[in-house]
Amino acid sequence: MLFNSFEFLIFFPIVFILYWMLQNNFRLQNILLLLASYIFYAWWDYRFLSLIIISSCIDYIAGLQIFKASNQSRRKFWLYVSLIANLGFLGVFKYYNFFAESFSQLMNQAGWQPNDLTLNIILPVGISFYTFQTLSYTIDIYRKDFQPTTNILSFFTYIAFFPQLVAGPIERASNLLPQMERKRNLSKEWIKEGLVQIVIGLFRKIVIADTIAAYVDLIYADVGIYNSSSILLATFLYAFQIYFDFAGYSDIAIGSAKLLGFKFHQNFNLPYFSKSLTEFWRKWHMSLSFWLRDYLYISLGGNRKGIKITYRNLLLTMLLGGLWHGSSWNFIIWGGIHGFVLAIEKYIKSKSFSIKLKPINFLGYPITFAVVLLAWVFFRAQNLTIATIAIKKILLFEWTLPYMGDINALANSVLLLTLGIIFDYYLFKKKITLELLGNQFNIVKTSFICSFTILLIILFYSTSNNFIYFQF
């Protein structure tokens, strides 16, 4: 089920009403949430529910066993059980075909012709998200940062909780599980914050991102035939399409959870207003970047083992972060670009350059955006060949007018994008997060903002596309 579907518009109010009718018993509320979450997921494909259930079972048991284990080897054993099971699912469903194809290509180059090793596998929606979520649970217990729950219902509900099940935010057990195990309350402030965030999230997704998508899809469907300026314009628009798409999704998720009495962490904090890539990653898909930092970068040694190892760790973390997004060389290169530039920033920071560069600090904004833009080419292109063509075409510097396509659609895109950027700039200048925006206003103003945003959605929404991050 999609947040931007008519089904969700019916589904959520029903769940909301039933949920708060059961407010005197949070266990019954959890049962309702679990059932609702499974229905939400099964709407896409009920067969893959079994994967979530198996994954939940394994991690529930592994968590308890790690905690109970009397010695280190036993603890390690159960951690490995969790890692192998979760990464095994991910490996089979997400990466098997990629590695099989890469292996075949390598063999072909060596003169061998192996049989077709690929399998006809469907990628289960949300597997990357809930796998990381369950992994954080067992790793935190192994690190003694968190105690496992003995309540299987709370744990299963935590894993399957529908607002964050298919595309995050990747909420860690330490934040969400304790909330599952106590009575929830809904305050007036949360009502305003949740409603404002949901409608603005919807606007970001179905108005801005989906309108922009038309031009981006047109150009990237055949980059070979368009000039440099068209590809550059499409990439520029894509940078905002993916931002408003994913940030919009996160907004709806965070807002919906808030209306059910749960507080999620912020997932996007105006990432394009960043003076460095390091800052960008503190603001972009924060639940993933902090996950990668805490469970990968730090596990690899972080910056504690000397500067060279730090660079290696950064690069490796970002390469794997890229691979997390999809089983393709494009994503690995995308991660590689980010890792490489992060390492350069680390180098500059470690030397005295950073003091000398202070007067021109403001250049950090356009430079960071340019790097992010270049990397988006690899992220958006369907494969490495297309990405290479796009980069080559951009570097031809054919600065004639870009291809306009449907001029009305392009004008709509520019107008709506401007609106989106102005709104973000307002938040940036006022130093407010969207999560708390609703609380700035009284009931009448909040209702007016929501009503007006709904009107804008009615007047400008575009045909619904799937959320980009569903494919990951």
Partner 1 sequence: MNTNVRNYFIKIIALILVGSYLMDKIAFVLLNSISDEVYSGQSIGKLNQFLEIKDELDFIVVGSSRANHHVDVSKIHDNSFNIGLDGTKMAYASTLIKTLSNKEQVILMHISPETAFSESYNGDDVQSLKSKYNRNKAIKNEIDFLKKNNPLQNFYWSLGYTGSILGMIKNIYFPNYDYTKYKGYDPLVVNSNQKEILEKILKRNTTKPCKNKLTLNPIYAHYLTELEIFSKQNNKRIVLFTAPIYNDVCKSDNQKLQKFLQKSTFEYIDYTDFFKHNNTIDLWKDRTHLSDKGAQLLTFQLKKKINIKSN
List of residues contacting partner 1 (CB under 8 A) = 6, 20, 23, 185-188, 191-192, 195, 224-227, 400-401, 403, 408, 411-412, 415, 443-444, 446-448, 450-452, 454-455, 458-462
Catalytic residue among 265, 285, 325, 338: 325
As measured in angstroms, the least distance from the Cβ of 408 to partner 1 is: 5
As measured in angstroms, the least distance from the Cβ of 261 to partner 1 is: 8
Our CB check for partner 1 shows the closer of 117 and 221 to be 221
325 is catalytic: yes
As measured in angstroms, the least distance from the Cβ of 441 to partner 1 is: 11
Our CB check for partner 1 shows the closer of 71 and 442 to be 442
Q: Is the peptide bond before 169 cis (omega within 30 degrees of 0)?
A: yes
Our CB check for partner 1 shows the closer of 119 and 455 to be 455
Our CB check for partner 1 shows the closer of 299 and 447 to be 447
As measured in angstroms, the least distance from the Cβ of 456 to partner 1 is: 10
As measured in angstroms, the least distance from the Cβ of 446 to partner 1 is: 7
Our CB check for partner 1 shows the closer of 71 and 185 to be 185
Our CB check for partner 1 shows the closer of 4 and 287 to be 4
As measured in angstroms, the least distance from the Cβ of 447 to partner 1 is: 4
* Positions marked catalytic: 325
